[in-house]
Amino acid sequence: MPVMTYREAIRSAMADEMTRDDSVIVMGEDIGVYGGTHLVTDGLIDKFGPKRVIDTPIAEGGFTGAAIGMAMTGMRPIVEMMTWNFSFQAADQIIQNAAKVRYFSGGQVTVPLVIRGPNGGGVQLSAQHTHSLEGFYGHFPGLKVVSPVTPADAKGMMLASIRDNNPVIFLEAGALYGTKGEVPDGDFVVPFGKARIAREGTDITLIAYGRQVNMLLNVAEKLAGEGISAEVIDLRSIRPFDEETIVTSVRKTHRAVVVQEQWRWFSVASEVAAIIQEQAFDDLDAPVLRVSGAEVPAPYARNLELAAFPNEDQIAAAARRALYLEK
Amino acid sequence: MATTRSRSAKAASKSGANDSAVGGRHKAASQNGLPLDHTTLLDMYRQMVTIRLFEEAAQKAFRTGKIGGYLHLYIGQEALAMGFLHSYQPGDKIITAYRDHAHALILGTHPRAVMAELYGKGTGMVKGKGGSMHLFDVKNGLWGGYGIVGGHIPLGVGFAYAQAYQQSGNMTQLYFGDGSIHNGAFHEAANLAGLWGRDGMNPCLFILENNKYGMGTSVERATAMTDLSAKFDSYGIEHEDVDANDLIAVLECAQRVTKMVRETGKPYGIEAQTYRLSPHGAADFLERYRSKDEVQSHRAHDPINVLEARLLQADATTEAEMEKIRADAKDVADDAVKFAEESPDPDLAELTTDVLAD
């Protein structure tokens, strides 16, 4: 299997679909001539031209709304949010139009739209440029929300996103664009709504998505040295959500820790914990624990930023608490 | 003439349950100092009167609690949509805000389906899921019906880009009120339209429906730059004004500018001067923001009266014929109300459909 970076995997999926289907276009800020702030779209304008790789002014509401209009009328636009932080400027378009127009038109229109870009923090961009928006967007019926962490999933889920007939919020792990991994050749589609068991285990289930999955794998390795067998689940898809894989795992391990970078209140981890207690209450041997970001706007200084997000020590400690090995 | 062809083509494109009792018959005839033959103009008169009586019936139903939510009426503005939509061609896309009943009726949605939607019935044009603000009839060119002031404007620009990209030869008519021109969505979208139009990639006709009030705030109280169409200049979009209470003026303008937009792929702006005779919404009882005298003074320029005078002056009709048209229009409105009242509620199973597409 070829090895690609996370960035290349996303680009390759977009290029493949643009080659296959003329209705697929990409648009966003500095994605063409400049090559993309994170170089995810680098080179696409040379291959597909400026009518399909559209550099937009810095006006997210306008171009996201236009993309929704295109999607309603026969095109399959992929919008780049330079970072998801800027999507608040387009939130009215995404929530009020993209997510709902199919419903309030009585099913007369579809919105096959992908909005993609880096989500989450970890690179010292401070308060306004650091958010984890999976819970926010996951709240709205009519949207699909995915958050792949491996290059293989990035490619497979991008192909699935472009072919989906609904608006897809594609949250990239911005800190991982340069990480490498094997990516299957050819038409490799990863369907939504299916979590990935990243590591099998029997004593405790550790659940995350995005870059926190890699932390869980490190923690699981550390716990193995302590004689604890941790299962690691990568949700991948926030909405639709794979309840079955989570519940099946917890029925086996009887314990769960959910980890996320976003704030705890009204978050994905809260929802996961609720689903577990609703469906596997009698199988639980300990409360489901959540490890989340600090309840502060993201700080700039490196030490403060590190303290604001979950780290491996905190996650390991939570796992030991769930196993009653630590207070 | 081009519009004669387009009108016939549209009539021929209609089918099934959505066939209109408002849009409809047409035959070519001679002119008499008017831009279209008498039969066509009289038919438009019939449509405008039908819209008026339809909306008055809806207002009554609202005030007796049969219609819920919001109900925004087009009373006083009928010539505007009538005139521009006469230049509609199959494949064109029409998008507007929440004052959308007239657009649906003119494009050919059956009045029964429109009224049933206002009543929230399962026989409504969007199955009772949208109500007054979200009328859609994609088959007949109506792509909504949106409730957030300004929020639909970028969508229309996107429609136009897609039309150019698909080399369809079609265009978008994008209607929006004077209240929305102060919203960022207008400015961001108009900027894109101007930019894309430079390459022939935005056949979008921006139709600013200036009815003088954004809800209860007059243009003068909303902006220091009250020449609203000047805002198009900021984005390189050429524009003109039209007296939108005079159907003949609107028709002349619409025929000319839609041809231009189709041919150039460039956006164009219209500031359509009109006046909302009805309250903002049917629940706007007090109208503290304007005097009765002001409203009364505009009644003299009611588009239906203006058209009646024009038609009589050109010997295109008689008082007796107009009376018959009004009576027929009343029947259409009454029939729509009866249909809506007798229609079943939406099936509860519809609650969870149409959220996601397959």
Catalytic residue check, A200: no
Mean pLDDT along residues B208-217: 95
User: Which among B161, B171, B352 is the top mutation candidate for probing chain A, defined by the most A β-carbons within 10 Å of its own β-carbon?
Assistant: B161
Q: For the domain covering A196-322, report its CATH number.
A: 3.40.50.920
Query: Residue B24: is its pLDDT beyond 60?
Result: no
pLDDT at B281: 85
Q: Which CATH superfamily is domain B32-340 in?
A: Thiamin diphosphate (ThDP)-binding fold, Pyr/PP domains (3.40.50.970)
CATH 3.40.50.970 location in chain A = 3-182
Question: What is chain A's Cα-based Rg?
Answer: 20
Task: List pLDDT tens digits, range A68-107.
Answer: 999 999 999 999 999 999 999 999 999 999 999 999 999 9
pLDDT at B22: 58
Q: Which chain A residues are within 8 Å of B122, Cβ to Cβ?
A: none
Percent residues over pLDDT 70 in chain A:
100
* Candidate from A157-166, A220-229, B288-297 with smallest mean pLDDT: B288-297
Q: Return d(Cα A196, Cα B29) in angstroms, integer.
A: 70
Does residue B119 or residue A175 have the better pLDDT?
Answer: B119
B189 in reach of chain A (CB within 8 A): yes
Nearest residue in A to B358, CA atom: A165
Instruction: Judge whether A221 counts as a catalytic residue.
Output: no
Q: In CATH, which superfamily holds the domain spanning A3-182? A: Thiamin diphosphate (ThDP)-binding fold, Pyr/PP domains (3.40.50.970)
B314 CB burial (10 A radius; 0-12, 13-18, 19+):
middle
Is the minimum CB–CB distance between A141 and chain B shorter than 8 Å? yes
Chain B stretch 190-219, residues whose beta carbon is closer than 8 A to a beta carbon of chain A: 191-192, 195, 199, 201
Question: What is the mean predicted confidence (pLDDT) over A194-200?
Answer: 98
| Secondary structure (H, E, C), chain A | CCEEEHHHHHHHHHHHHHHHCCCEEEEECCCCCCCCCCCCCCCHHHHHCCCCEEECCCCHHHHHHHHHHHHHCCCEEEEECCCHHHHHHHHHHHHHHHCCHHHHCCCCCCCCCEEEEEECCCCCCCHHHCCCCHHHHHCCCCCEEECCCCHHHHHHHHHHHHHCCCCEEEEEEHHHCCCEEECCCCCCCCCCCCCEEEECCCCEEEEECCCHHHHHHHHHHHHHCCCCCEEEEECCEEECCCHHHHHHHHHHHCCEEEEEEEECCCCHHHHHHHHHHHHHHHHCCCCCEEEEECCCCCCCCHHHHHHHCCCHHHHHHHHHHHCCCCC
Interface check for A168 against chain B (CB to CB < 8 A): the answer is: no
Q: What mean pLDDT is reported for chain A?
A: 97
Asked if the C-beta of B310 comes within 8 angstroms of chain A's C-beta atoms, the answer is no
Exposure class string for A40-61: b at 16+ Cβ within 10 A, else e:
bbbebbeebeeebbbbbeebbb
Q: Tell me which residue has tokens 């390795």.
A: A221
Average pLDDT, chain B: 91
Q: What is the pLDDT of residue A327?
A: 84
Asked if B130 and A64 come within 8 Å (Cβ–Cβ), the reply is no
Min Cα separation A108/chain B (Å): 7
CATH 3.40.50.920 residue spans of chain A: 196-322
Does residue A66 sit at the B interface (CB-CB below 8 Å)? yes
Tokens 């209860």, residue located: B216
Residue B289's pLDDT band, with cuts at 50, 70 and 90, is very high
| CB contact at 8 A, B205 and B267 | yes
Mean pLDDT of all residues in B22-44: 68
Do the chains contact at B127 and A141, CB–CB below 8 Å?
no
pLDDT at B6: 36
Residue A222 pLDDT greater than 90, yes or no? yes
Average pLDDT over residues B174-191: 98
Of all residues in chain A, the percent with pLDDT exceeding 90 is: 97
CA distance A114 to B57: 43
Contacts of A68 in chain B (CB under 8 A): 154-155, 158
User: What ipTM does this complex have?
Assistant: 0.96
Query: Is B236 part of the contact surface with chain A (CB cutoff 8 Å)?
Result: no
Residue B286: which pLDDT band, with cuts at 50, 70 and 90? confident
Q: What is the predicted pLDDT for the residue at B3?
A: 35
Question: What pLDDT is recorded for position B14?
Answer: 37
Asked whether residue B265 carries a pLDDT value surpassing 80, the answer given is yes
**How many residues are present in chain A?**
327
Query: Choosing from A60, A80, A172, A231, which is the catalytic residue?
Result: A60
Q: Please enumerate in sequence order all residues whose Cβ is within 8 A of that of B130, keeping only pairs 6 or more positions apart, or say none.
A: A104, A105, A106, B117, B124, B136, B145
Do A62 and B355 lie within an 8 Å CB cutoff? no
The whole-angstrom distance between B324's CA and the closest CA on chain A is 36
CA distance to partner chain B, nearest, from residue A148 (Å): 21
- pLDDT confidence of residue B32: 60
* Interface check A58 vs B, CB under 8 A: no
